[in-house]
Amino acid sequence: MMNTNNTIIFDVDSESFQQKVIQASHEHVIVVDFWAAWCGPCKMLGPVLEKVVASFGGRVRLAKVDVDRNRELAIRLNVQSIPTVKIVSKGAIVDEFVGALPEHEITAILNAIAGGEHDDMLRQAEAYEAAGSLSKAEKLYTSILNEEPENSIARVGLARTLLKNGSVDRAAEILSGIGEYDERYEEAKTLLESLDFIKVCHSSGDSGTWREKITKNPGDLDALYSLGCCYAAEKQYENALETFLSIVRRNSGYGEGKARKAMLTLFLMLGQDSELTVRYRELLARALF
């Protein structure tokens, strides 16, 4: 393993550990990598650690400890196998792991400890979004992503803002780029599932249009389904579930069972333990059986 000596990535030993790690951790988060030249997994983990640490722009630093040369230090810090990584902040070990973790997991661990570079901007963007200042929120989220394209918090925030502005296709494109191992994947997946409701709702009008059609023809299941989608898009989840359930009761096979499928999607969005999910899952079962 190559020795690196600079302010971000550097070697430490028993004599320099107190100064370069413990004392320095009051200014920066220090990742301590216990490794050895003969250790295969260490050779795999080393470059990943260096890449992740470098991505924090100096807020996180990497200290490398060669256990063959620093056995006493390794024993003192209870290193029983390698690679072992200990993360030090404010003078204390705050987290640790053994083995070669993937890049996204290490990034998530350090994000939780060191915070993201754009945390203040994210908080401001979320405040704008909550206040309904969508154009300001969109600009801030976009600015963050221009500097940090893989920031999934900003990606989800931008997608939410775009959905509120009606930019469904662009929101879908942004959400589709969030991988299944990302900590924001489930949130992105839920938003993606809600896009179908929005598309159907706005396919030929809005909730008012569909209500008018149902008033003229109460048996129009297409209009009823679209109205249910509008309710779901507007987060009127109980009205949406009740509307889809009414379709199932009239014709469970309508549209190859798409009203039932819509209810199942809403159950996922709401969570399996949600009061609405529990209640309407039972009502759906009664309607079907």
Phi then psi for residue 48, to 5 deg, are: -65, -45
Tokens of 223: 């209009």
Is residue 24 classed as helix, strand or coil in its secondary structure? Answer: helix
User: Are 33 and 91 within 8 A, CB to CB?
Assistant: no
| Amino acid (one-letter) located at 286 | R
Q: Is 229 a catalytic residue?
A: no
CA 105 vs CA 130, 148, 182, 220, 237: distances in Å: 30, 17, 9, 50, 34
Q: Is 42 a catalytic residue?
A: yes
Catalytic residue among 42, 201, 229, 230: 42
> Using omega within 30 degrees of 0 as the cis cutoff, is the peptide bond preceding 83 cis?
yes
Catalytic residue among 39, 201, 229, 230: 39
Residue ranges of alpha helices (H) inside the chain are 17, 40-54, 71-76, 103-114, 119-130, 134-147, 152-164, 168-176, 185-201, 207-216, 221-233, 237-250, 258-270, 275-288
Pairing of strands 92-98, 60-66: unpaired
Catalytic residues: 39, 42
